[in-house]
Amino acid sequence: MLAVAKDVTKSFMGTKVLDNVNLMINQGDRIAMMGPNGAGKTTIVRALLGFYHIDSGEIRVNGADPIKNRVDVLKHISFIPQLPPPVKLSIEELLSFVEKSSAISREKIFLESERMDLDLKNQLNKPFFKLSGGMKQKLLIAIALSKKSNLLIFDEPTANLDPKGREKFYELLTEIDPSCSTLFITHRLDEIEGLVNRQIYMDLGKVVEDEKI
């Protein structure tokens, strides 16, 4: 078992955003997580990553508490946020942060970028936020795929990509090490149908459907 959320409840300002959520992610799971906006998808992911202190319940990722052992937990997770953050660091600096904090090799990132037709080497000094939306997303994807993780979490990863970029992205996904589990938050099940083996549907802070496909 890679990650477990047991009876997790979390409220923001009196509103229950996660309501007794139970979720288990096993090795080899390729999950499509769906649900309307505000269902709590991002919140459960952030709780798994140790960003939120949950009100009750328990979360374990690779057997550890993501808050108490955040460094160990995050070593094995790759995460792509819903929107590319406007990071002001230059690409060079972002790469050195990623490289040094997570032991990712720069060569690997260049390689993954090239496969998505993203030419990094000529714009290393450009601030990250000045890249186009699609280029940012590609770089984040390249970083995520370069990290040696056993769980990849993508919060609506393709929202900013053009159709061609999306195609390339899915192509890359087919090459992910099969032992690595993935969790996609997405609105487009049709696009990733071939890539997932399980679908979870959330609504109003609850998991309302969880089935293998």
Ligand X SMILES: Nc1ncnc2c1ncn2[C@@H]1O[C@H](COP(=O)(O)OP(=O)(O)O)[C@@H](O)[C@H]1O
Q: In the complex, which residues of this chain contact another protein (CB under 8 A)?
A: 46, 49-53, 70-75, 77, 79, 81-83, 85-90, 93, 96-98, 100-102, 127, 140
For the chain, the first-to-last Cα distance in angstroms comes to: 19
Of residues 181, 161, 168, the one with CA closest to residue 84? 161
Three-class secondary structure of residue 191 per DSSP: helix
**Strand 3-12 relative to strand 181-185, pairing:** unpaired
Residue 213 and residue 107: Cα distance in Å, rounded? Answer: 36
98 binds, among ligand X, Mg ion, another protein, none (CB under 5 to 8 A by kind): another protein
When asked if residue 53 is in the footprint of ligand X (CB under 6 A), the reply is no
Q: Which of 2, 17, 18, 42 binds Mg ion (CB under 5 A)?
A: 42
Minimum CB separation of residue 194 from another protein in Å reads: 27
The verdict on 160 binding Mg ion (CB under 5 A) reads no
Kindly tell me which residue out of 30, 41, 138, 198 binds ligand X, with binding defined by CB under 6 A. 41
72 binds, among another protein, ligand X, Mg ion, none (CB under 5 to 8 A by kind): another protein
160 counts as binding ligand X under rule CB under 6 A: no
Number of DSSP helices (H) and strands (E) in the chain, helices first: 7, 9
Q: How many CB atoms lie within 10 A of CB 210?
A: 15
Closest CB to another protein among residues 16, 70? 70
Give me the least distance between CB of 43 and ligand X, in Å please: 3
Give the integer Cα–Cα distance in Å for 148 and 3: 17
> How many chain residues bind ligand X (CB under 6 A)?
10
Distance CA 3, CA 109 (A): 26
Report if residue 186 touches Mg ion, rule: CB under 5 A: no
- Binding at 39: pick from Mg ion, ligand X, another protein, none (beta carbon under 5-8 Å per type): ligand X
Nearest to 21 by CA among 36, 37, 38, 39: 39
Closer CB to another protein, residue 60 or residue 201?
60
Residue among 40, 66, 84, 157 that touches ligand X (CB under 6 A): 40
- Residue 201: φ, ψ to 5°: -120, 125
Residue 64 vs 189, nearer CB to Mg ion = 189
Spatial distance between the Cα atoms of 108 and 125, rounded to a whole number of angstroms: 19
